[in-house]
Structure 1
Amino acid sequence: MNVTTIGIDLAKTVFSIHGTNQYGKVVVRKRLNRPKLLAFFAQLPPCLIGMEACSGAHYWAREMTRLGHDARIIAPRFVAPYRKSSKNDDNDAEAICEAVGRPNMRFVAIKTEDQQAVLCLHRIRRGLIKERTAQINQIRGLLAEFGLIIPQGRYHARHRIPEILEDAENGLPMLARRLLNNINLRILQLDEEILAYDREIEAMARRDEQAKRLMAIPGIGPQTATAILASAPDPRQFKSGRHFAAWLGLVPRQYSTGGKPRLGRITKRGDKYLRTLLIHGTRAVIAKLSDKNDRLSSWAKELVERRGYKRAAVALAAKNARIIWALLM
């Protein structure tokens, strides 16, 4: 089969395939179930294969690469303009096939198994933190029904909830006391699980030389360092540190016309989790600027006074992103 470019619409069981030859003529348009997909591509000559970034995309890209193909992953928003009519699996595969052959198309870096394993650790930890926050908010709301108010924040809850449950004179019914105690036990269990994951991330960072270099940057800790190494593509794909900061969504949004530049708030594109870690890290740095007089601290102090705390935190995060790019090169 003389096919040079293929677009795959990934799914759980049935995959739509659209392939063209070197002249752009359609030579294959079919659907395959999951067990037959790799067998089909194993008998094809090396070709360019495109797929949307979704669940399982990195796995399939690695498998296609092992078969000798040039597999590339595309962000869904870059595929949508090439869809010619209604959205369905076959039209999506055709749009992917068209998009992957564009010379200026941007692609998502294919992650290794080890990188995805590290990201699993981060995602599980983040999920536990969200669950703990939900449990604390639930117990705060339920206690408010009985006139018992707890200030916001998990540290206040950690001290006040046991006191309320042990107070026999606050009018809390025994049924509610028992149910709320079960929630509190779950919160304590979540604390232990999150702490265990934090220690595993710290140990992982201590074993990695690149992570150690990144942690020398103010505001970069084990979580940020390991998450960046697991998520960021090869730094040589970026022309400069500013391009890396733009990949993280830490540069101003531009809406320019008529030769007049108009810059707005940051674009917030890219990985939200990495951007959040970087900004939270810089907030911790800014909170401790009062007793420091180095060049970076002086610049940050001046920026806080001139532009405000939040803008200064984002600007320092963008600066850290550029430093990270330089250290990874």
Structure 2
Amino acid sequence: MMPPVYVKPYVKRGKTDAADAEAICEAVTRPTMRFVPVKSPAQQAALLQHKTRDLLVRQRTMQVNALRGHLAEFGIISAAGVAGLNQMITLLHAEQEMLPEPARKLFQEIVAHLRALEQRIDDIEKQIVAEHRASSVSRRLAGIPGIGPITASAIVAAVPDASTFRSGRQFAAWLGLTPKSHSSGGKERQVGISKQGDSYLRRLLVLGATAVIRLARKENSSRQWAAKLLEKKAARVVSVALANKTARIVWALLTTGNAYSARSA
């Protein structure tokens, strides 16, 4: 399979089946053409779990932000983030008398919806963790610092065959974690990461790298590497750099079948 965006430049004019077929035949002969590996039904089902969980998490965040904003209009202030949800609910119960009856009912409905979302997220996460424990590949990936059951199972589901990538750098580039080059007039400079490819996997790896950086001073080779880089670069830059390194380690483990070793990393 080829991504349509890579075939489109070979369409001469118009939109017909014949023109599309001609463009596909031309594109498939290009030596630099990139192909999309075909996922199995089991992998597609696993990815559906991740996408559903991600959707519910985003919905929960929206509901929490809305609840905080509405409470602030009535003078009830709580901490930011999902972590402040319990505080908001406690304050809501404590200040019920100062709220009008219509507002109180609506707040109760929002809280009930949030609780239902949390329960659904928890159920899906349990399913993902159960499948992670049943997969030897996923368990091996979880041995890498910054990768937990969610990230490991997402990688297994999204990457049917890691050998299609010639190197760890190509795998990291597929995830959009490599610098993007801009060349003009004989001068070349890097303008940040490309952010191409699977944004969900990229986000999971960056979040995991951020967690590793918080423990950068402990005895671990990847953390020592991050600690040294933190002396020169901003934490966000180091998080992306560590996510890039983690992606290369993931590729090595997927292609060789070995387990993670801190010394080899």
Residue 220 of structure 2, aligned match among 294, 306, 312: 294
Contact persistence 2:215–2:223 (CA under 8 A): no
C-alpha contact (below 8 Å) 2:76/2:91 kept by paired residues = no
Q: Which has more strand, going by share of residues?
A: 1
**1:206 maps to what in 2?**
133
> Match for residue 117 of structure 2?
190
- For residue 190 of structure 2, the aligned residue among 263, 267, 279 is 263
Deviation at 1:257, TM superposition (A): 4.6
RMSD value, Cα = 1.9
1:281: how far off? 0.3
Q: Structure 2 unaligned runs (5+)?
A: 256-265
Aligned to 2:203: 276
C-alpha deviation, 1:129, in angstroms: 0.6
Match of 2:77 in 1: 149
Which one scores higher on RCO, CA 8 angstroms, separation ≥ 6? 2
Alignment of 1:130-279 (within 5 A): 130-169=58-97, 171-257=98-184, 260-279=187-206
Moved more, 245-254 or 134-143: 134-143
Q: Per-residue CA shift, 1:86-122, capped at 9, x if unaligned? A: 4566644543343234333111111110100100110
Question: Hey, what does 1:107 align to over in structure 2?
Answer: 35
Shift of residue 214, structure 1, vs aligned partner? 0.5
Alignment coverage as a number of residue pairs: 255
Q: Structure 1 residue 182: deviation in Å?
A: 0.7
User: Going by fraction, where is helix more abundant, 1 or 2?
Assistant: 2
Q: Residue 168 of structure 1: CA displacement?
A: 3.6
Identity %: 46
- TM-score, normalised to structure 2's length? 0.89
Mapped partners of 1:225, 1:192: distance in 2: 22
1:140 offset after TM fit, Å? 1.9
- 8 Å CA contact 2:78, 2:87 repeated in 1: no
- Do the aligned residues in 2 keep the contact of 1:289 with 1:301 (CA within 8 Å)? yes
Cα distance in structure 2, aligned partners of 1:234 and 1:117: 17
* Displacement of 1:174: 1.0
Query: For 1:23-38, what aligned pairs fall within 5 Å after superposition?
Result: none
Structure 1 residue 194 displacement after superposition: 0.7
Query: TM-score scaled to structure 1, two decimals?
Result: 0.73
